[in-house]
Chains A and B, each alone.
Chain A
Amino acid sequence: MNPPAIFTVLDRREEIPHTVTLRIQPAQGGTVTPFAPGQFNMLYGFGSGEVPISFSGATAEQGYYSHTLRAVGKSTEALARLQPGDQLGVRGPFGRGWPMDQLAGRHVLIIAGGLGLAPLQPLIEAIVAKPADYLGAQLFYGGRRPEELLYLARMAAWRDALNVELTVDMASRDWSGHVGVVTGPLASAKFPASNTVAVVCGPEIMMRFAVRTLQQRGLDDASIYLSMERNMHCALGHCGRCQWGPNFVCKDGPVFRYSDIAPWFHVREL
């Protein structure tokens, strides 16, 4: 395993409590290795471990990466504490991302839950940049409360290119979005099922419900893509930790086509 490249924090934005977006650029300057939407980097905070974090932000961004991460443990807490000018280690990009070539010319259903919107942001930005390349696009984004939804400010710009439906579990009366589950608006949404691709990222339980709703709505399993998460220490296919059935999440995923992994998706403690 080679040492990481050194990156410097350009800016840090607190999105919602405990969740920040870091923009980082190579300490030596210059360009960054291009990434595909859905891929991830291994981010290393000095002495406190390394974690896989998906790319957020647009792929067109030159010279820097954007990563949205939530402080949930020692490593992510250290990364979330980084301030502009601080340095961190970066290995990547790794993994297989969203099937961008499969999306062109088709209707795209984007279904995200909680922090699961972050790995979908590059995909959304790609659609927003060239909406004419797609038949249409809808974003169904669910979260616990309105104040825990990501990228609300940025969403205004997305609404020109795609229909955005926000759903929360709990809200006060002034909330203008949906209350309920993310699959609710999806169940009654209009889309051409035979020419639609769905991309799903969120807690596994939410993805299970989303898959069921999509199947009820007439999507075939080969048109549904999910992003999986497992423990990961190397991202090289060597440490063995991210195995999920016969798959390595780090190299065969994190994005999988549902028809390829359907038997594994419902096995418990896999």
Chain B
Amino acid sequence: MKTVADYVREHALFDGMDPAQVEFIAGCGRLRRFHEGEYLTRENDAADHFYLVLEGRVVIETHRINQPPAPLLTLCANDIVGWSWLIPPYRYQFDSRALTAVRTVELNGQCIRGKCESDNCLGYALLKRLTSVMVDRIHGARMQLLDVYGAATPGADPLP
């Protein structure tokens, strides 16, 4: 039977990380399943957790008056959901909702913050990995803004 630590170690976020550090982080985690349609996070709720997605798909979305919620980004296995636990005032910025049945490792934000404060090497190692995810998300958001598919690709007209 796989332990929480096994799942944490196998997740892409921790790929290649010092096993002792992974073990230490896994101490803040537990396995958690979500049904299709269930929310992992709700905007403005206390950001007590973040999730390592093991299986299934999650959508980050935001709600709008008089319109259905707008999907912003979908995430799947090896992605993470939530980093508001890291930044005061520790409140979720968006909703995240399970699009399918989802299996996760739920990591307790307060617990990890405590460990990072007491072990700055761990804190730095983790922050580097989280920063990389954030940078990818920003790059992705910029690409989405660029509307790169708006103009056609092949089959172009060579005449002005």
**Measured CA separation A54–B149 after assembly (Å):** 18
Q: A143 in the interface, Cβ–Cβ < 8 Å?
A: yes
Which residues 110-142 of B have a CB within 8 angstroms of A? 136, 139-140
Q: How far is the CB of B69 from chain A (nearest CB, A)?
A: 6
Q: Which among B70, B77, B150, B158 has the highest number of chain A CB atoms within 10 Å?
A: B158
CB atoms of A205 and B146 under 8 A apart: yes
Query: Does B151 belong to the interface (CB within 8 Å)?
Result: yes
Q: Of residues B77, B136, B154, B159, which shows the largest number of chain A Cβ atoms within 10 Å of its Cβ? A: B154
A227 CA / B156 CA spacing, docked (Å): 13
- Give chain A nearest CB distance to B129 CB in angstroms: 14
Q: Assess whether A57 is interfacial by the CB under 8 Å rule.
A: no
Nearest B residue to A114 by beta-carbon distance?
B149
Interface residues of A (CB under 8 A from B): 19, 40, 49, 51-54, 67-70, 72-77, 113-116, 118-119, 142-144, 148, 167, 169-173, 175-181, 183-185, 187-188, 201-203, 205-206, 209, 227, 229, 231-233, 241
| B152 neighbours in A (Cβ, 8 Å) | 19, 70, 72, 114-115
| A188 B77 Cβ-Cβ under 8 A | yes
What is the CA–CA distance of A118 and B73 in the complex, to the nearest angstrom? Answer: 26
B31 within 8 A of A: no
Nearest opposing residue in chain B for A175, CB measure: B71
A179 touches B156 (CB 8 A): no
Contacting pair B158 A148 (CB below 8 A) = no
A72→B144 contact, CB < 8 A: no
Q: Shortest CB–CB separation between residue B132 and chain A, in angstroms?
A: 10
* CB-CB under 8 A for A229 and B156, given A169-B149, A184-B140, A205-B143: yes
Q: Is the interface of A mostly helix, strand, loop or mixed?
A: mixed
Q: A175-B71, A180-B74 are in contact. Are A169 and B144 (CB under 8 A)?
A: yes
Which single residue of chain A is at the shortest CB-CB distance from B60?
A179
Bound-state Cα–Cα, A34 to B73, Å: 42
Residues of B within 8 A of A76 (CB): 155-157
Q: Are B155 and A232 in contact (CB under 8 A)?
A: no
CB within 8 A of B149: which of A40, A49, A142? A142
**Closest residue of A by beta carbon distance from B99:** A176
User: Distance (Å) between the CB of A67 and the closest chain B CB?
Assistant: 8
Question: Given A173-B61, A188-B76, A205-B148, A181 and B140 touching (CB < 8 A)?
Answer: yes
Chain A residues contacting B57 (CB-CB under 8 Å) are 178
Determine if A181 and B143 form an interchain contact, defined as CB atoms under 8 angstroms apart.
yes
User: Could you tell me if B76 and A53 are in contact, using CB atoms closer than 8 angstroms?
Assistant: no
Do B157 and A72 touch (CB < 8 A)? yes
Known contacts A175-B71, A179-B72, A203 near B154 by CB under 8 Å? no
Given contacts A202-B149, A203-B148, 10 further A-B contacts (CB under 8 A): A72-B151, A73-B160, A167-B74, A173-B61, A178-B57, A178-B74, A180-B73, A184-B75, A205-B143, A209-B139
Partner among B61, B72, B149 whose Cβ is within 8 Å of the Cβ of A148: B149
* Known contacts A49-B158, A115-B154, A179 near B71 by CB under 8 Å: yes
